[in-house]
Amino acid sequence: MAIPTWSVGQVLAAADVNDWFVPVVAYKTSTTTRTSTTTLANDADLVIPVAASSYYKITGMLSYQAAATGVYLKWTFTLPAGADTGIYGVTYYNTSNTYVTEIKNWADTPQGGTPLANTGYPAIIEGMVKTGGTAGNLTLQWAQGVSSGSGTSLNAKSHLMAQKVG
């Protein structure tokens, strides 16, 4: 969908303002900890509703930590049916504990390293999503990269933001 063209003096409808000028933001108000699981599960907070047949610029930051070194955080994103899985850039510590910037597919499952126990690490995300004919949600799923009784946490203030651009 192309961005509308407005005329001088035209009054914008509320739907136009909300669709084109107001980003959709999801953020965590409290930390969530998962233990003894490598099964990806939806994060209840980091869910972004997206319209059908649209393009969105997605930015965000995942703040994570593990109670034990080497437990890791793994994540992926689910998209509405028919969405182009596209790509995004992410800067994070990988499981070799090297700070890297990589290109990922939204359906990939990167694993964020945890060089030090109980220390917060960021994963900085930026990319584009093109939805198909079905509206729905862009949802973060995450789990421990290595199952451990020592928890892995996705911290408060982790966030995603979507700005409709087409």
Which tokens hold the place of 88? 């995004």
pLDDT for res 65: 95
What's the half-sphere exposure (Cβ side, CA atoms, 13 Å) at 7? 2
Question: What is the predicted pLDDT for the residue at 18?
Answer: 66
CA dihedral 150, 155, 106, 166 (to 10 degrees): 170
Tell me the torsion sign for CA atoms 116, 120, 124, 125: positive
In this prediction, residues 17-35 reach a mean pLDDT of 89
Domains, in order of start, for the chain: 22-164 (2.60.120.40)
pLDDT value for 61: 98
Token reading at 14: 């509320």
Give me the phi and psi of 75, to 5 degrees please. -150, 160
Q: How far apart are CA 29 and CA 98, in angstroms?
A: 29
Place of tokens 């690490």: 121
Task: Please compute Rg for the chain using Cα positions.
Answer: 17
Q: To the nearest whole number, what is the mean pLDDT of the chain?
A: 92
The structure's pTM equals 0.90
Q: What is the pLDDT of residues 124-165, one digit of tens each?
A: 999 999 999 999 999 999 999 999 999 999 999 999 999 999
Looking at the predicted structure, is the pLDDT value of residue 17 above 80?
A: no
Averaged pLDDT for residues 30-59: 97
